Structure 1
Amino acid sequence: MRRKLDPTDRRILNALQSFGRLSIVDLAERVHLTKTPCSERVKRLEREGVIMGYSATLNPAEVEMDHVMIVHVNLAKTSESALEDFNQAIKQIPEVQTCLMIAGPFDYMLKVRTRDISHFRELLGERISQLPAVMQTHSYAVMETVKETAMIELRG
């Protein structure tokens, strides 16, 4: 049974999402706890899988990976084995940042980040289009990222 998050857990999670490099001392101060109880809560949240990991957010332009495409994928068949084969194969392509199975006119939506259009064209032709059961793709160039976040704001 999943433990319900109390207001202190929520404050800890919000602070860590915004400032992932906070020391336990700084975090405890922000959420109005002493160091030991704060540390114990963070360890519990990690152990229970609420906190899945920590990472740095990179500036895509500074690492020359600022070309973004959205790709809609239609599969030739959607049997359980075809979906599982596609799911496993798509996870092996690092340029695919997000893969969403969709209920609608296509089966999957991908967010793909590459160096430029040539890199994308190569990736589409040699990798994405060759994935198991792929019948058709439609690609859309992202002109500007207006909002992008992984943060889940927790209220209460």
Structure 2
Amino acid sequence: MHTGLDKFDQQIIAALQQDARQSVSAIASSIHLSRSAVSERLKRLEQSGVIRGYQVLLQPAAGALVSAYFAIEHNSARCADIIPKLLQIPEIRRCHGISGETDLMVFVEAPSVARLHQIRELLDAEPAVVRITTHMVLSEWINKDGDNKNS
């Protein structure tokens, strides 16, 4: 995330990343600010260049997704406290609590490396997250939940 953004700016950006077509009223309701306050913040974020524009994302071609595992360490009392944030990110496909130094292993499929990076920054901005290690998927040899691939 950009420095100098407060929690409401970050929540507005997260809401827009999830659905850039949602109304200012819907964003205002979800983050508990007035519609006028959200409108002013959006205008400021756009004028300052934090929000550079809005775009249409097309469904990627089959097999064109970028996959990675995020090994997340946190200082929260319980892993369950972090799960609501993860559920807000549609590209997160699986999350497992595991033993060892890593608390959560999160599998992400994104349409681009840039979006994968945005997701990582969103998670890294969470106060309870201490460290994230990214493991990019280069090949998938066995997948008993879907098709087997050798690419």
TM-score, normalised to structure 1, is 0.50
Identity %: 17
- Alignment deviations for residues 67-104 of structure 1 (CA, whole Å, 9 cap, x no partner): 00111000023x13xx2220122112111101000111
Corresponding residue number in structure 2 for 1:69: 68
Letter in 2 for 1:115: P
Higher helix share: 1
Letter in 2 for 1:134: V
Counting matched residue pairs gives 88
Which of 110, 119, 143 is matched with 2:106 structurally? Answer: 110
Q: What runs of 5+ residues in structure 1 fail to find an aligned partner?
A: 1-59, 152-156
The runs of at least 4 consecutive aligned structure 1 residues that moved more than 6 Å come to: none
- Alignment deviations for residues 5-45 of structure 1 (CA, whole Å, 9 cap, x no partner): xxxxxxxxxxxxxxxxxxxxxxxxxxxxxxxxxxxxxxxxx
Give the number of the structure with larger relative contact order, counting CA–CA contacts within 8 Å between residues 6 or more apart: 1
Q: What runs of 5+ residues in structure 2 fail to find an aligned partner?
A: 1-58, 147-151
Q: CA deviation at 1:64?
A: 6.8
Which has the greater radius of gyration?
1
Which of 116, 124, 138 is matched with 1:143 structurally? Answer: 138
Provide closer, same or farther for how the CA distance between residues 112 and 99 of structure 1 changes in structure 2, counting only shifts above 3 A.
Answer: same
Q: CA deviation at 1:62?
A: 2.2
Letter in 2 for 1:122: Q
1:122-137 equivalences under 5 Å are 122-125=118-121, 127-131=122-126, 133-137=128-132
Name the CA distance, whole Å, in 2 between partners of 1:62 and 1:148.
19
TM-score, normalised to structure 2, is 0.51
Query: CA contact under 8 A between 1:72 and 1:109: conserved in structure 2?
Result: yes
Name the CA distance, whole Å, in 2 between partners of 1:142 and 1:136.
19
Name the CA distance, whole Å, in 2 between partners of 1:103 and 1:116.
30
Q: Secondary structure at the match of 1:122?
A: helix
The alignment yields a C-alpha RMSD, in angstroms, of: 2.2
Q: Secondary structure at the match of 1:118?
A: helix
